[in-house]
């Protein structure tokens, strides 16, 4: 490609040398690390009307943006370094760059959907508000007693995460509500006022209120909330009966504390972001991606920020599910590897699976119970600290270890030339030849090979290994970590990861996908067009949705089904009001109902989808059948004849999902362009050495392309590494399909 300078951007024409005005592919690069790509599918410029929708994802290293013009079918992709000090700056940088490239303004954008890692990072890094807990007398230590469960029976020095509300900031009130909702001891207004004064003196910023059995009768919590609104209106308060009105005291307390702990930070961030949008001239709708894969209004996200804990990763799973559905591959293993973390999620015919439980801040990566729980609806996935910026080091046993800490965007890997000196996965991939130092982000960001070799060489000298051996060790350790995580994720859901094709995206995902797939024995790897910003597709296919839960415990044969139906009606009405207020068409609002059920005597339950229609005694056989089918899939057996009880009743109220015409991706190729960019020496583990392999231009590959690995395929935001013997083709949606050799 030949570069031509046009103002602050480099406008590059394809190697076929067609004039830019005639070419269906235009790529522009900004000289200051940020970079944008636009590909008008049907020709012409982006339509300057209010039909533009934008998805924006803030990651630990990069902030990604996808702008979709519904009128012309044009996609414009932006990728800019994240600004950790003020994340909204990175968002505005991406918007300004995309607007400049497409000759549009923020006022032309009708809708922005945003996902962020702010909540997760604040919880892990303990950067939330000074938080107090108010609870029932006798329950002050519920956060530390937890479940009285040791996640490792044989570790005498077992570690548990420190509570977000320390013991000296946990306070009791002498009140009591019984499990049936009746009041044993009323709450004293004078005691509440005295406690408010004390919290003022302690300079508390946030207060979590979690009283025993408030999920049945929330009156006492609401009384406390009203007192704070009157006497301390500047103090942020979250009530457990609002945040998570369901049984299990420890989980409910932990979730409520976590919600209010990050609430002031989230409120400020979202408010600053909305004000920045408005100052730039944007007057459209703003939605926030929830962990469940639904969209929320900014106001609801500010009130319940704990529901954003897996915001960005959820979008990636939705993107994989959408691409799988339209391309005829409904069962996939979604593999999203960015600069800081890697995420895996199983996708089946109904989409990604959901859970009502999640753990944050695990002391040990793969040990359930070593973190603190949050009871919020989430898309089930597994996330590990293995990204392009993950730092390699020697552990206490003298062994090579990679992650979970990351160099992030500032200073970034050593090869970024921004002051980083520690060896990272990206540095290793560069040394191995997988990345082109002159083509990272399409050439917008020059990588420093010598800095990478120096950083890895310093580590290798401590191990008695060469630079190349150390680099391969880092690369392979990360692959093994991700394969182990994916295998565990599949096994926990009663599935076999070997049966799932891998859908790989994220900036680093296509570099490592083939190696991970080899370890897992996956049949094939699919890499979508624009893989480096693949999560942003998920933002634009997500519906406006919200989840609700009510606890009614009882055996199926003894439940009051009219009461259950009343509670479903209440949740449906509340949800409909919320999604319609966010802009949904009332005629298109739907509800998906489920229940958490278990055999009587068990301590944990499984989630079961409920049949359509009104529930009654006559539907009990259908409920038993649905429960046993789910139980059999998860555990391989059922306990026939054992009585079954229900615990929680859930409903997801959602609007219709937007239609995103991704079929247009298949029309991107440059006719007549030579797809072979050149050759490069890369490390091929099967051959035990560096080999010269062909390097292909992703944007010049069309559906006629067929080749056999090894090879490298480069696009602007990511690089695909293909091993020997793999068959490579391009499908109708411009995805690269890699069929692994059967011996792999």
Give me the phi and psi of 79, to 5 degrees please.
Answer: -145, 120
DSSP 483: H
Q: How far apart are CA 23 and CA 100, in angstroms?
A: 19
- Note the pLDDT tens digit of each residue in 283-326: 999 999 999 888 988 998 999 999 998 888 888 899 899 888 88
Give me the phi and psi of 696, to 5 degrees please.
Answer: -105, 150
Q: How far apart are CA 694 and CA 676, in angstroms?
A: 7
Non-local CB neighbours of 664 within 8 Å, separated by 6+ positions: 41, 42, 73, 75
Q: How far apart are CA 574 and CA 194, in angstroms?
A: 34
* Helices 249-279, 87-102: crossing angle, 10 deg rounding: 40
Q: How far apart are CA 119 and CA 691, in angstroms?
A: 44
Does position 27 have pLDDT exceeding 60, yes or no? Answer: no
Q: Specify which residues 5 forms β-bridges with.
A: 10
Least confident of 34-48, 549-563, 645-659: 34-48
CA distances to 128, 431, 463, 469, 688 from 456, rounded to whole Å, are: 35, 9, 11, 10, 19
- Note the pLDDT tens digit of each residue in 578-613: 888 887 888 889 999 999 999 998 988 999 999 888
Could you tell me which of 568, 559, 677 has the C-alpha nearest to residue 618? Answer: 559
Q: How far apart are CA 491 and CA 487, in angstroms?
A: 6
CA distances to 54, 74, 536 from 286, rounded to whole Å, are: 10, 21, 15
Non-local CB neighbours of 399 within 8 Å, separated by 6+ positions: none
What is the pLDDT, as a whole number, of residue 671? 54
- Note the pLDDT tens digit of each residue in 206-229: 999 999 999 999 999 999 999 999
- Note the pLDDT tens digit of each residue in 188-197: 999 999 999 9
What's the burial of 456, exposed, middle or buried (CB within 10 Å: 0-12/13-18/19+)? buried
Distance of CA 708 to the CA centre of its chain: 33
CA distances to 284, 292, 362, 381 from 357, rounded to whole Å, are: 34, 11, 14, 11
Q: Find the mean pLDDT for residues 389-413.
A: 84
What is the pLDDT, as a whole number, of residue 42? 34
Does position 32 have pLDDT exceeding 70, yes or no? Answer: no
Instruction: List alpha helices for 551-702, DSSP H.
Output: 561-581, 620-635
Q: Which domains does the chain have, with CATH numbers?
A: 2-118+285-307 (3.30.420), 123-268 (3.40.1360), 312-386+477-541 (3.30.420), 406-471 (no CATH), 545-654 (no CATH), 662-739 (no CATH)
Instruction: List alpha helices for 464-608, DSSP H.
Output: 467-491, 509-520, 535-541, 561-581
Residue in this structure with the two tokens 């200073």, named with its chain if needed: 411
CA dihedral over 295, 300, 304, 308, signed as positive or negative: positive
The SS3 of residue 302 is helix
Global pTM reads 0.81
């Amino acid at each position: 490609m030949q570069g031509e300078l046009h103002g602050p951007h480099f406008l590059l024409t394809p190697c076929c040398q067609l004039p830019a005005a005639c070419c269906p592919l235009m790529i522009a690069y900004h000289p200051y690390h940020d970079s944008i790509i636009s590909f008008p599918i049907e020709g012409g410029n982006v339509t300057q009307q209010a039909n533009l929708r934008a998805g924006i994802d803030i990651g630990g290293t990069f902030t990604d943006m996808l702008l979709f013009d519904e009128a012309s079918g044009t996609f414009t992709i932006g990728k800019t370094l994240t600004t950790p000090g003020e994340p909204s700056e990175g968002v505005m940088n991406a918007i300004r760059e995309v607007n400049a490239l497409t000759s549009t303004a923020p006022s032309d954008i009708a809708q922005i959907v945003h996902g962020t890692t702010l909540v997760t990072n604040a919880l892990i890094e303990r950067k939330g508000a000074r938080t107090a807990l108010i609870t029932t007398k006798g329950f002050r230590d519920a956060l530390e007693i937890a479940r009285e469960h040791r996640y490792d029976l044989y570790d005498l020095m077992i570690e548990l995460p420190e509570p977000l509300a320390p013991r000296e900031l946990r306070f009791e009130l002498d009140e009591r509500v019984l499990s049936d909702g009746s009041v044993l001891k009323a709450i004293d207004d004078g005691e509440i006022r005295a406690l408010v004064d004390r919290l003022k003196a302690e300079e508390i910023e946030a207060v979590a209120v979690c009283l025993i059995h408030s999920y049945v009768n929330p009156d006492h919590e609401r009384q406390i909330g009203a007192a704070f609104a009157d006497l301390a209106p500047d103090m942020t308060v979250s009530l457990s009966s609002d945040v998570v009105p369901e049984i299990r005291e420890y989980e409910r307390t932990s979730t409520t504390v976590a919600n209010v702990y990050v609430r002031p930070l989230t409120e400020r961030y979202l408010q600053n972001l909305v004000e920045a949008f408005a100052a730039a001239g944007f007057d459209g709708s703003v939605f926030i991606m929830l962990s469940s894969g639904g969209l929320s209004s900014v106001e609801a996200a500010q009130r319940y920020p704990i529901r954003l804990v897996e915001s960005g990763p959820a979008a990636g799973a939705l993107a994989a599910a959408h691409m799988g559905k339209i391309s005829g591959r409904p069962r996939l293993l979604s593999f999203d590897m960015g600069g800081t973390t890697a995420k895996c999620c199983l996708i089946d015919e109904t989409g990604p699976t959901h859970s009502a439980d999640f753990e944050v801040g695990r002391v040990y990566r793969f040990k359930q119970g070593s973190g603190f729980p949050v009871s919020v609806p989430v898309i089930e996935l597994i996330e590990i600290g293995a990204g392009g910026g993950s730092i390699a080091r020697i552990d206490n046993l003298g062994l090579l270890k990679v992650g979970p800490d990351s160099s992030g965007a500032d200073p970034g890997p050593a090869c970024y030339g921004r002051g980083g000196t520690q060896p990272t996965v990206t540095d290793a991939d560069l040394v191995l030849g997988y990345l082109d130092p002159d083509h990272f982000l399409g050439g917008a960001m020059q990588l420093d090979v010598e800095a990478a070799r120096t950083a890895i060489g310093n580590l290798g000298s401590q191990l008695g290994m060469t630079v190349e051996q150390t680099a391969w060790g880092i690369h392979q350790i990360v692959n093994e970590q991700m394969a182990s995580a994916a295998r565990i994720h599949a096994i926990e859901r009663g599935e076999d990861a070997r049966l799932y094709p891998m859908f790989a995206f994220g900036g680093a995902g296509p570099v490592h996908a083939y190696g991970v797939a080899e370890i897992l024995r996956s049949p094939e790897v699919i890499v979508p067009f624009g893989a480096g910003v693949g999560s942003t597709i998920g933002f634009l296919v997500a519906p406006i949705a919200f989840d609700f839960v009510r606890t009614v415990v009882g055996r199926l044969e003894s439940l009051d089904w009219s009461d259950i139906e009343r509670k479903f009606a209440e949740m449906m009405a509340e949800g409909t009001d919320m999604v319609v207020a966010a802009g949904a068409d009332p005629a298109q609002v739907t509800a998906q109902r489920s229940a958490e059920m278990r055999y009587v005597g068990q301590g944990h339950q499984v989630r079961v989808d409920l049949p359509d229609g009104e529930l009654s005694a006559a539907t009990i056989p259908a409920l038993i059948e649905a429960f046993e089918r789910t139980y059999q899939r998860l555990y391989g057996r059922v306990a026939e004849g054992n009585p079954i009880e229900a615990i929680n009743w859930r409903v997801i109220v959602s609007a219709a999902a937007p239609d995103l015409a991704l079929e247009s991706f298949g029309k991107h190729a440059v006719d007549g362009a030579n797809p072979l960019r050149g050759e490069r020496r890369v490390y091929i583990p099967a051959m035990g050495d560096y080999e010269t392999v062909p390097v292909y231009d992703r944007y010049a590959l069309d559906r006629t392309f067929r080749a056999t690995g090894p090879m490298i395929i480069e696009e602007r935001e990511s690089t695909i590494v293909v091993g020997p013997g793999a068959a490579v083709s391009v499908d109708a949606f411009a995805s690269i399909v890699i069929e692994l050799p059967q011996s792999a």
